[in-house]
Amino acid sequence: MVLDGSSPIAPSKPVTVGHEACGEIVDLGPAVTGFSKGDKVGFVNAYHACWECAGCARHYGQCESGDFVMQGWGMDGFMQEYCIVDYRAATVLPDALDASKAAPLFCAGITAYNAVRTPGLKEGQWLAVIGCGGLGQMAVRYAKASGLKVVAVDIDDETLAKAKQAGVEHTFNSRSDPNFIEELRKVTSGGADAVAVFTAVKAGYDVAPKTLKLGGKLVCVGCPPNEISVNALHIALGMYSVLGASNHAKPAGLRECADFTVQHGIECPIQFFGIDQIGEMIDLMQSGKMGGTRLVVRF
């Protein structure tokens, strides 16, 4: 978002970026309760969100308190050795969770977890995942751990191979297979019960309704720069419904996601870097060859 200019960072007030992290508590403010020095914690970038208003009930980024600042945008983020964290947006990590691998849980992970849980599918039902990059990779793992049957759709065979390794039933390359929708509907006996769209490309939303069975649920996660469209008549007739999933979670929700991750042995594909390798991370990201791997700075 910084590189393409869509981030709201003001040129007159540069900030350290980074919104997805975990770390060890080295000191506590006088009002902090429930935490101790040395605790390993994960957190979202919600500095001074009130967690009580109507806005916070939807997403902390809509907090109405007037005190909220989004770290990594309006103030320094987490791509640094030490950072300030609001304890009301943090949770202690489970002992069994490797803290060096936990950072992706606190945006990508909780988003993917929410996307899998939002449609309320039951064990054995079908979930289609469109866009199997970093978030999509975690979604297929959470879905399989939840007992769902999964179809993974992407345009990159390497990315689809990682999804296949995670246990998905079927994979389809929507770029090289012009008949993938017909084939998907066949293997799912009429379409998926829900589809979660993680790609930030409008084409993903154009095909998503076609993957659903009658009465299915479309879960919006990826955010294309241009508006998407849905057929109002199809919505009115109940042919499918539209839901949303984001990284919104109070500490209890973050802990639930972390506990589920540990309980089911879920690991996100990760490549570690040092802080002095930021340029290499950016080059890899812009090349489009991450293959569903999260890039993590380890201090």
Do 50 and 161 lie in a common domain? no
DSSP assignment, residue 121?
P
Do 227 and 133 lie in a common domain? yes
Do 143 and 99 lie in a common domain? no
- Asked if the structure places residue 295 within a domain, the reply is no
Here the CATH number for the domain that contains residue 143 is: 3.40.50.720
Give the per-residue pLDDT at 12. Answer: 66
Do 138 and 176 lie in a common domain? yes
Domain hosting residue 143, numbered range = 109-244
d(CA 133, CA 285): 11
Q: What is the pLDDT of residues 256-272, one digit of tens each?
A: 999 999 999 998 878 99
- Asked if the structure places residue 231 within a domain, the reply is yes
Here the CATH number for the domain that contains residue 40 is: 3.90.180.10
Q: What is the pLDDT of residues 132-160, one digit of tens each?
A: 988 999 999 999 999 999 999 999 999 99
Give the per-residue pLDDT at 18. Answer: 87
Q: What is the pLDDT of residues 289-299, one digit of tens each?
A: 777 788 899 88
- Asked if the structure places residue 114 within a domain, the reply is yes
Answer yes or no: are the C-beta atoms of 73 and 9 closer than 8 Å: yes
Overall domain count for the chain? 2
- Asked if the structure places residue 157 within a domain, the reply is yes
Query: Which tokens is 280 given?
Result: 């290499």
Query: Which tokens is 14 given?
Result: 């540069």
DSSP assignment, residue 71?
B
d(CA 150, CA 184): 11
Residue 173: Cβ within 10 Å count? 15
- Asked if the structure places residue 225 within a domain, the reply is yes
- Asked if the structure places residue 184 within a domain, the reply is yes
- Asked if the structure places residue 292 within a domain, the reply is no
d(CA 209, CA 39): 45
pTM above 0.85?
A: yes
Do 115 and 240 lie in a common domain? yes
- Asked if the structure places residue 280 within a domain, the reply is no
Give the per-residue pLDDT at 288. Answer: 76
- Which is higher by pLDDT, 281 or 118? 118
Do 126 and 40 lie in a common domain? no
Compute CA 278 distance to the chain's CA centroid, rounded to the nearest angstrom. Answer: 21
Q: What are phi and psi of 22, to 5 degrees?
A: -150, 165
Give the per-residue pLDDT at 285. Answer: 85
- Amino acid, res. 35: F
Mean pLDDT (the chain, rounded)? 93
| C-alpha dihedral sign at 177, 233, 223, 59 | negative
Q: What is the pLDDT of residues 47-94, one digit of tens each?
A: 999 999 999 999 999 999 999 999 988 899 999 999 999 999 999 999
- Amino acid, res. 53: C
Do 135 and 230 lie in a common domain? yes
3-state secondary structure of 212: strand
